[in-house]
Amino acid sequence: MSDLFKTEEKKSLGSSLIEEVREKFKNVLVIKEPYKEYDIVIAEISVEKLEVVVYQRKPSKPHVKNLVKSISTVGFVVPLVVAKKPDEDKFIILDGQHRYLACLELGIRKIPCVIIPWEYATLMINLNIEKQPNIKEKAYVALRIYNELLDMYPDKPETDDEIMQSVEEIYFVTTGMVYEHDEKFSGSSWEPILKKTDWPFDLPLREAKPKREERAGVILECHKIAREIVQKLKEIGISHPFIYKEVVSHANPIKRKRAVVVEFDEVFSQIRENLEKMRENPEEFKDVLVAEEGAELPE
């Protein structure tokens, strides 16, 4: 994604949106972003017109409480970063949901905001490093962005630069689809395999999504077999915190191959075959799986 910030392309909020903001809000300031040189607007926006982006983490109550104390002491000094979604009279909060919630608790009705072009909204979500998300959160974010892009650009190929830059990794989209079916799916256990097999389709998004859902179904079936194996191993006394991950690792036919590009269907066919053998003969893995009592399946 670093190449994205080296492009000479310049985006703008557009004069119509700037005029619209000036008509609706007082004390509007328009400035140039210093590196990309697009227009950004600073304005006070009423809380009724603000909403938290659906991709955000769940808010932390202690963090909101601390911000309430901070704002009560020094005032509200760090603006929210927002984007106006096309054809809607709402501003989506990209950065600052905790500050927004603290303002609501304090009864603040208008909040200073920095408005950036909508084109940068999804990129900012992916690049926001306020808190490092885990793979489950990344997967949900990627899937929601993917679905939104599908609604906006159904005929744009999945391999298009804008699509690839908007979702952090395309395999996160597939992983998100699996999590929708089973929230206890262990995405981190499968990530080393998906990195090497789950590539973008050279198809329009409307055609690519069903194929990606098929891949998610294949992964889900393998996941279910792996969980059955974990249970069988526990029944014969093999149990430790990473047993599920080790089962997946043993079934992985490409774990020792570096910088390899392989076909998804071929690899997962082998994985399923290996898992089914393990399910039939769990006793064979006593020598290679270290037993530790009281383990849970990782989530």
> pLDDT value at position 56?
62
DSSP collapsed to 3 states, the chain: CHHHHHCCCCCCCCHHHHHHHHHHCCCCEEEECCCCCCEEEEEEEEHHHEEECCCCCCCCHHHHHHHHHHHHHHCCCCCEEEEECCCCCCEEEEECHHHHHHHHHHCCCEEEEEECCHHHHHHHHHHCCCCCCCHHHHHHHHHHHHHHHHHHCCCCECCCHHHHHHCCCHHHHHHHHHHHHCCCCCHHHHHHHHHHHCCCCCCEHHHHHHHHHHHHHHHHHHHHHHHHHHHHHHHCCCCCCCHHHHHHHHHCCCCCCCCCCCCHHHHHHHHHHHHHHHHHCHHHHCCCCCCCCCCCCCC
How do the pLDDT tens digits run along the chain, 299 residues long? 333 333 334 445 556 677 777 877 777 888 888 888 888 889 999 999 998 876 666 777 888 998 999 999 899 999 999 988 777 888 989 889 899 999 999 999 999 999 988 878 777 776 664 455 689 988 998 898 899 889 989 999 999 988 888 888 999 999 999 999 999 999 999 999 999 999 999 999 999 999 999 999 999 999 999 999 999 988 888 877 788 999 999 999 987 766 566 899 999 999 999 999 999 988 877 666 644 344 444 44
Q: What is the pLDDT of residues 13-56, one digit of tens each?
A: 556 677 777 877 777 888 888 888 888 889 999 999 998 876 66
Task: Spell out the domains of the chain, with CATH numbers in brackets.
Answer: 2-123 (3.90.1530.10), 133-285 (no CATH)
Q: Does the pTM of the predicted model rise above 0.85? A: no
